[in-house]
Amino acid sequence: MHPRLPILSLAARARRLAALALSIAAFAAAAPAAAELPQPPALAARQYLLVDVTSDQVLAERDADARADPASLTKIMTAYLVFQALGDGKLTLEQTLPVSERAWSERKGGGSMMFIEPRMKPKVDELLRGMIVQSGNDASVALAEGVAGSVESFVEAMNRQAQAWGLRNTQFRNVTGLTESGHYSSARDIATIAARLIRDFPAGYRNYSLREYTFNGIRQDNRNMLLGRDPTVDGMKTGFTEAAGYCLVASARRELPGGERRLLSVVLGTDSRNARASESEKLLNWGWQAWDMVRLFEPGQPATKVPVWKGARSEVGLGVRGGLTVTVPRGAGAGLATSVERTDPLVAPLQAGQAVGTLRVRTAGGDEIRRLPLEVLEPVPLAGLFGRAWDALRLWIR
């Protein structure tokens, strides 16, 4: 039987509650306040996403995984596969391609055109600029047929690439972006495709900075209005259909004391050309002003050096092979701390790039902002027979 608890008077209860409240207040004052993330500006768009491509961090988003009509943003994937074919030697920039009846007939469906005709033999380089700068649906079809033999085979390759990247909210039905049942993507997936093109094909990406292009005497302006407004914007792609609204992927690059920094914005479903440009500009400017880039490790610089057992060398550097840059709220760069969790003991042989643990980056207040694989920075082959035997004995004693 439990002992009876004393019955407290109302006054005593009040005193205890007051003391408890004071204790809670004192604890809250002593505890470090969690850093508040900057709040993005209000945007007149259905979905959006802002990514710091340099640090691979999402800075702001709204409904970024919602499936949406991508309109001509589809052509970013189309261009990626063409650049891939060029890199693989399946095409050359100077190679001419035939203009099929199917490519020519794209003008009947409406939308943007490069205005190629079956009698023409445009070069791959010309078709790329017609697709990228003029957003030509006809150029997109001609390139798809030139790479894969048919539009259908090219679309299958687009979907295979999307699956390989893990894009769960993307499915392609055509190479142009014209509205079609089952053709969709999301702001996050579009950002992934755009960032991959920028990283994998920097020479090809330069086409997206062209302000205009003239083919067969027809001059057309790039519809990306930010190319004329902001000198740091060097791409990327506009899109419009009735279902999609006005859309824009925009990318901007700046050289900062810590190195190059690139931001990428995806804005979907605005109500005009001006709106997609102004909302994208607003988002990019906020990314520059509200966030700082901090370079923690240069490429090849170890985060830690640790012993290696049974190896030709006694220790190895661990870190992130490509270096590590993080993006933090403005002014929060001081006091960043890194910690490692690793395999122990570390036994040779070890390959460069082999993941052997986790690298964490935290703010001064203890908030984790990045978590990455901890990699071996240089290979460590096996030691000779005597070295392996000696380390085996030491491990046994250990």
305 catalytically annotated: no
* Residue of 191, 280, 186 lying closest to 229 (CA atoms): 280
Rounded mean pLDDT, 147-152: 97
Q: Is there a cis peptide before residue 345, judged by omega within 30 degrees of 0?
A: yes
Residues 256, 192 contacting (CB under 8 angstroms): no
Instruction: State pLDDT tens for residues 270-291.
Output: 999 999 999 999 999 999 999 9
75 catalytically annotated: yes
Rounded mean pLDDT of the chain? 88
Rounded mean pLDDT, 73-85: 98
Out of 55, 72, 185, 280, pick the active-site residue. Answer: 72
Confidence at residue 173, expressed as pLDDT on a 0 to 100 scale: 98
Instruction: State pLDDT tens for residues 91-129.
Output: 999 999 999 999 998 877 778 999 999 999 999 999 999
Alpha carbon distance 53, 370 (integer Å): 14
Which letter does DSSP use for residue 223 in this model? S
9 catalytically annotated: no
Give the pLDDT band of residue 9 (cuts 50, 70, 90): very low
Confidence at residue 45, expressed as pLDDT on a 0 to 100 scale: 97
Residue 337: both structure tokens together: 């701390």
* Residue of 178, 183, 267, 196 lying closest to 225 (CA atoms): 267
Confidence at residue 345, expressed as pLDDT on a 0 to 100 scale: 85
Domains of the chain: 47-290 (3.40.710.10), 298-397 (2.60.410.10)
Confidence at residue 357, expressed as pLDDT on a 0 to 100 scale: 93
Instruction: State pLDDT tens for residues 343-397.
Output: 888 887 989 999 999 999 988 888 888 899 999 999 988 866 755 665 566 667 7
Best mean pLDDT range from 28-32, 130-134, 294-298, 386-390: 130-134
Give the pLDDT band of residue 40 (cuts 50, 70, 90): very high
Per-residue pLDDT for 304 more than 90?
A: yes
Instruction: State pLDDT tens for residues 174-204.
Output: 999 999 999 999 999 999 999 999 999 999 9
Confidence at residue 67, expressed as pLDDT on a 0 to 100 scale: 98
Alpha carbon distance 225, 246 (integer Å): 12
Query: What is the dihedral sign for C-alpha 87, 92, 77, 56?
Result: positive
DSSP three-state, residue 57: strand
Residue 315: both structure tokens together: 């220790």
Per-residue pLDDT for 261 more than 60?
A: yes
Confidence at residue 19, expressed as pLDDT on a 0 to 100 scale: 39
Alpha carbon distance 161, 182 (integer Å): 17
Helices (H) and strands (E) in the chain, counts: 11, 14
Confidence at residue 276, expressed as pLDDT on a 0 to 100 scale: 98
- CA distances to 31, 122, 143, 214 from 83, rounded to whole Å, are 53, 17, 11, 21
Out of 9, 23, 55, 75, pick the active-site residue. Answer: 75
Confidence at residue 152, expressed as pLDDT on a 0 to 100 scale: 98
Alpha carbon distance 302, 320 (integer Å): 7
Out of 55, 112, 135, 280, pick the active-site residue. Answer: 135
Residues 176, 137 contacting (CB under 8 angstroms): yes
CA 85, chain centre distance (Å): 22
Name the more confident of 26 and 1: 1
